[in-house]
Amino acid sequence: MNKVLVSICIAGTALAMSSCRSVEKAMPLSSINGEWNIIEVNGSKVTPGESRTLPFITFDTATGRVSGNSGCNRMMGSFDVNAKPGSLSLGAMAGTKMMCPDMTTERNVLGALAQVKGYKKAGKDKMYLCNASNRPVVVLEKKEANVKLSVLNGEWKIKEANGEAIPSGMEKQPFIAFDVKKKTIHGNAGCNLINGGFETSASNAKSISFPGVASTMMACPDMETEGKILKALNEVKSFDVLAGGGIGLYDANNALVLVLEK
């Protein structure tokens, strides 16, 4: 009889550990803010060797934006910031369309995220994302920022704007220079000088935006390139280091709008 009771207790404990139900007060939405590694999907551990990139997801609880990498492609979507604490619905995520040697991890990640209906703390620096049956389908681990703002310091050539290469041999080759300590920028958009500051967010190490960038008012024979650069600069919301060592600047939908190279 005692053995039966012990077995029941063990089973009950295991069920409680694998469930998103909790008698504790639900955690506020702000608890999921920031960038997280996806370390487990439907009970299976995710390792860097399974795909080209370790999957991760970033929640911006101020704007309701979600972005990240599903193992091969960048992904993006949104969620309701007014949902009750503990509730979270991501639905279908949009993403880029690259093909990688192994797409299994990506399919599993996207399939699990489409099922998410809630979240719950899973221990120190970890979080469960749960389905409609309150079963954890994804385990997240808080990601330490591995990109520091200081990487931007110095002068960078503007190589691409919204997917189009900047013509070489221009009379005034576009560039942007960062002074990270002063949080200022200066440069040239192809014709006119640009000057201003930039803003970041304490909750997201990769956030950056350029409100109120000013430029001189000269007219040049070809203003098309300058127009594309200034438009892209106004859309920037984040940055990241690219595989080749350059810097990518991304808009609110996590689309690459500017490519910078030393």
- Provide the 3-class DSSP secondary structure of residue 166: coil
Residues of the chain with pLDDT under 50: 1-17, 23, 50-51
Structure-token match 């080209």, residue found: 52
Q: Beta-carbon neighbour count of residue 175 at 10 Å?
A: 18
The span from the CA of 252 to the CA of 249, in Å, is 10
* Predicted pLDDT of residue 131: 96
Residue 106: which H helix or E strand, with range?
Answer: helix 104-113
Residue 257: which H helix or E strand, with range?
Answer: strand 256-261
Contacts of 141 (CB under 8 A, 6+ apart): 36, 37, 39, 125, 126
Residue 6: which H helix or E strand, with range?
Answer: helix 2-17
* Predicted pLDDT of residue 34: 86
Maximum distance among all Cα pairs of the chain, rounded to whole angstroms = 91
* Predicted pLDDT of residue 5: 39
- Domain ranges in the chain are 27-140, 147-259
Q: The domain 147-259 is classified under which CATH number: 3.30.365.10, 1.10.132.20, 2.40.128.270, 3.10.580.10? A: 2.40.128.270
The span from the CA of 122 to the CA of 259, in Å, is 38
- CATH code of the region 27-140: 2.40.128.270
The span from the CA of 233 to the CA of 251, in Å, is 9
Q: What share of the chain is helix, strand, coil (3-state, %, to 5)?
A: 20, 35, 45
Structure-token match 């009379």, residue found: 171
Residue 136: which H helix or E strand, with range?
Answer: strand 136-142
